[in-house]
Amino acid sequence: MYLQSLDPRVTRLHLPEGDMPPMEAKPALDQFETYEAFHQKKEGAAHTYVGPVHAPNEEVAFLFAKEQYSRRFPCVGLWVVRTAHIQVTPYAGDSENIYDMLRIEAPAEPSAEAVPYEIFHLKKRGKAHTHAGRVLATSYQEALQEARKAFGDKGPIVNVWIVKSKDVLQSAEEDKDMWTTIPEKKYRDAIAYKVMDKITKFKEEQKNNIAP
């Protein structure tokens, strides 16, 4: 016999009834690699870290990040980066500046050509990394050094992420219409549900019914 459910769609799956043997453990990478996503809330705002997604490649990661992180609230831009492409410093305390605590070695003879890197700062533990800006460098190490010069003196900085600009998949100007439907979907906003009026009216009616 098949499993019978209240939901006819489940019944139609023809699932075996009764105990099933344990499922074999999922193999490594069944859920793919991870990518980190950054969103831009409004024009001109810095891109801010929103969280990871699992995806088989950059394009799918972008699609998943768009659904996961920009489905509900205003968004005008989205970046995704393969987690493996991000270099991370150790974490400092909330009142410290990690740049002051690291011995950042100057690279010997820069051999490669300088390329752009994106720098993200975490200002407070538990908050989100925010885009600080872009530097030109020949290595991650040099990028860190350049980042310190350019942005390193702005109060406490708990943690720094560094990524080559070429490794960031960015939404383009002409992609922005993908977010235009967000304000139309009012039924997803708490404010669209005005229950107080209904409750008040109901209570009035009850009072009138009970009154002799």
Partner 1 sequence: MYGGGNVFEATKFDDLQAEDPVKLAEFEARIAGGEKIEPTDWMPELYRKQLIRMIEQHAHSEIIGALPEGTWITRAPGFRRKMAQMAKVQDEVGHAQLLYSAAETLGKSREQMLTDLINGKSKYSNVFNYPAFTWADSNIISWLIDAGAIVNQMANAKGSYGPYARALERICAEEAFHLKYGHDAVVHMATGTPTQRAMIQAALNRWWGPIMTFFGPSDKMSTHTETLMRWKVKMASNDECRQQFLDMYVPKIWELGLTVPDPKLKKNPETGQWEYTEPDWEEFKRVINGDGPCNAERLAVRRTAEERGAWVRRALLNPKAQYVRPLA
| Residues within window 16-55 making contact with partner 1, judged by CB under 8 A | 16-20, 22-23, 25-34, 36, 49-54
Tokens standing for residue 147: 């980042």
Binding residues among 95-134 for partner 1 as defined by CB under 8 A: 125-129
Q: How many chain residues bind partner 1 (CB under 8 A)? A: 72
Taking the C-alpha atoms of residue 143 and residue 104, their distance in angstroms, rounded to an integer, is 10
* Only segment of 83-91, 135-143, 144-152, 167-175 that touches partner 1 (CB under 8 A): 83-91
Is 90 a binding residue for partner 1 by CB under 8 A? The answer is yes
CB of 146 closer than 8 Å to CB of 160:
no
Closest to 76 measured CA to CA, from 212, 173, 194, 195? 173
Binding residues among 127-166 for partner 1 as defined by CB under 8 A: 127-129, 158-159, 161
If phi > 0 it is left, if psi is from -120 to 50 it is alpha, else beta; for residue 190 that is alpha
* Only segment of 87-95, 102-110, 131-139, 141-149 that touches partner 1 (CB under 8 A): 87-95
Instruction: Figure out which of the listed residues 59, 67, 100, 153 binds partner 1, where binding follows CB under 8 A.
Output: 67
Taking the C-alpha atoms of residue 35 and residue 76, their distance in angstroms, rounded to an integer, is 19
In the complex, the smallest distance separating the C-beta of residue 13 from partner 1, rounded to whole angstroms, is 6
Which residues are CB-neighbours of 112 under 8 A, at least 6 positions away? 138, 139
Is 201 a binding residue for partner 1 by CB under 8 A? The answer is yes
